[in-house]
Amino acid sequence: MSAAGANELGEVELEEKWSLLRKLCGRDVRAPSNETHAPMGEQRMKNLLTAVLMTIVTTILLGLVYPLMVTGLAQVIFPDQANGQLIRKDGVVVGSRIIGQPFGGPGYFHSRPSAAGAAGYDAGASSGSNLGPTSQKLVDRVKGDVEKLQAENPGKPVPVDLVTTSGSGLDPDISPAAAEFQVPRVARERGLSQNELQQIVATHTAGRQFSFLGEPRVNVLELNLDLDSRKPMPTTRR
């Protein structure tokens, strides 16, 4: 069938439908004039053009303009947060306030355990251990860590965050209790009195956000850097 024949057939079917609709409604319902409607092919082309233009406009607005605007505002209003809250020492980046890192030396405050990556604290493999409370592997690991810490500080209860990993594996903070637990070891290695070291810890203890969100915390990296500046270790070890 030719295109002209198909259009004529379509117009006949459309007129029959409008005739049936007028009978059902019991009143005069006029079919739209063919003169006010573009041919089907032309209408499809208009729809296609509208879709293409809409895609281009939204891509420019939401894919370019909006991200650049948000990035620019962040750099002006919150430059430190927008750039990862990096910490520098002597002009060299040594870490971030919001990404934890391990410290193993006895003269340093230790971070909580991490399951992010094979060696822990891998920012490219942020995750928890995914081990449940019935996992024997988890039970054995926690039991071993508790025994090690109890040998370091006999008679003192071990803070839970010193033997458990965070959901991200990159927690930069420990609880004030975890910091207090490590004070005797760090004070002994640094040649400081425990009272003096407790005062330093207190200056790095942040309270709840807005006084009710979260828990008090101590940033491990900032605390250890402050200790290095106040009382450097004879041989710097982490």
Q: What is the mean pLDDT of residues 134-140?
A: 93
Single-letter amino acid code for the residue at 185:
R
Q: How confident is the model at residue 104 (pLDDT cuts 50, 70, 90)?
A: confident
Mean pLDDT for 210-229 is 94
Structural tokens at position 237: 């070890």
Which amino acid is residue 87, in one-letter code? I
- Whether the per-residue pLDDT at 72 is higher than 70: the answer is yes
Provide DSSP, the chain.
--HHHHHHHHHHHHHHHHHHHHHHHTS--PPPPGGGS--HHHHHHHHHHHHHHHHHHHHHIIIIIHHHHHHHHHHHH-HHHHTT-EEEETTEEEEETTB-----STTSPPPPP--SSSSS--GGG-------TT-HHHHHHHHHHHHHHHHHSTTSPPPGGGTS--SSS---EE-HHHHHHHHHHHHHHHT--HHHHHHHHHHTEE--BTTTBS--EEEHHHHHHHHHHHS--SS---
**pTM > 0.75: yes or no:** no
> Of all residues in the chain, what percent carry a pLDDT higher than 70?
82
Q: Please determine, for residue 237, whether its predicted confidence score (pLDDT) is greater than 60.
A: no
- Which range among 101-105, 173-177, 180-184 shows the weakest confidence by mean pLDDT? 101-105
What CA–CA distance (Å, rounded) separates 19 from 29?
Answer: 8
pLDDT of 128 reads 87
Spatial separation of the C-alpha atoms in residues 50 and 213, rounded to whole Å: 48
